[in-house]
Amino acid sequence: MIAGDGLRLRAIERADLPTIVTWLNDPEVRDQLAAYLPMSLAAEESWFEKLPERPREQQPLAIDVQNDNAWKLIGTCGLHEVDWRTRAGELGIMIGEKSEWSKGYGTQAVALLVQFAFETLNLHRISLYVYADNPRAIRAYEKAGFVLEGRLRDSEFRHGVYRDVLMMGILRPEWAAARK
């Protein structure tokens, strides 16, 4: 478990799957994800069964927030495409619980995951992709220290229109300097 102040990142459990499927079937949530089709519980269970085949550091994590004395699942995050030669990885996150949007949880989860990537996994670089029309996510990434590295013009097609995708990244020395 990776713990922060009132927020934790933990392994995804089978009991989390129905909630995650509900989020993935919400068009408003799915609109900011690479997923563009609804998800069945059977498909999500099949995905879950294959998780142990992935390297442990590339298995997705649940995001829980402390609510009174209980923990509440609000999203998922993780690192993928880890390249150990270049010590680089790609970050992904979904805050699926819409009632918890705009409360800073995404920023906090990203900061915890970045700290884990640099301090525990010894990565040097973390990158991510975000839709240019998602200012809430862009602000969260910038608060965590990510900088704009490029724009992929008209690279996503959704709802009958093309939209740009931004590539953002953070290097370990930048992250370390910002923490001082």
If you average pLDDT over residues 153-175, what whole number do you get? 96
3-state secondary structure of 96: coil
Instruction: Tell whether the model's pLDDT for residue 170 goes beyond 90.
Output: yes
Tell me the pLDDT tens digit for each residue of 101-157.
Answer: 999 999 999 999 999 999 999 999 999 999 999 999 999 999 999 999 999 999 999
Structure tokens at 174: 């930048």
Instruction: Note the pLDDT of residue 151.
Output: 98
Q: What residue numbers bound the domain in which 69 lies?
A: 2-179
Instruction: Note the pLDDT of residue 1.
Output: 81
Instruction: Note the pLDDT of residue 122.
Output: 97
Q: What's the total number of domains in the chain? A: 1
| Phi/psi at 136 (5° precision) | -60, -45
Neighbours of 102 (CB within 10 A): 11
Tell me the pLDDT tens digit for each residue of 21-69.
Answer: 999 999 999 999 988 888 999 999 999 999 999 989 999 999 999 988 8
Instruction: Note the pLDDT of residue 27.
Output: 93
If you average pLDDT over residues 80-105, what whole number do you get? 96
pLDDT band at 180 (very low <50, low <70, confident <90, very high): confident
Q: Are 33 and 128 in contact (CB under 8 A)?
A: no
Instruction: Note the pLDDT of residue 35.
Output: 87
* Residues noted as catalytic: 141
The CATH number linked to 16 is 3.40.630.30
Beta strands in the chain (DSSP E): 2-3, 7-11, 61-67, 70-83, 88-95, 125-131, 147-158, 161-171
Q: Are 94 and 130 in contact (CB under 8 A)?
A: no
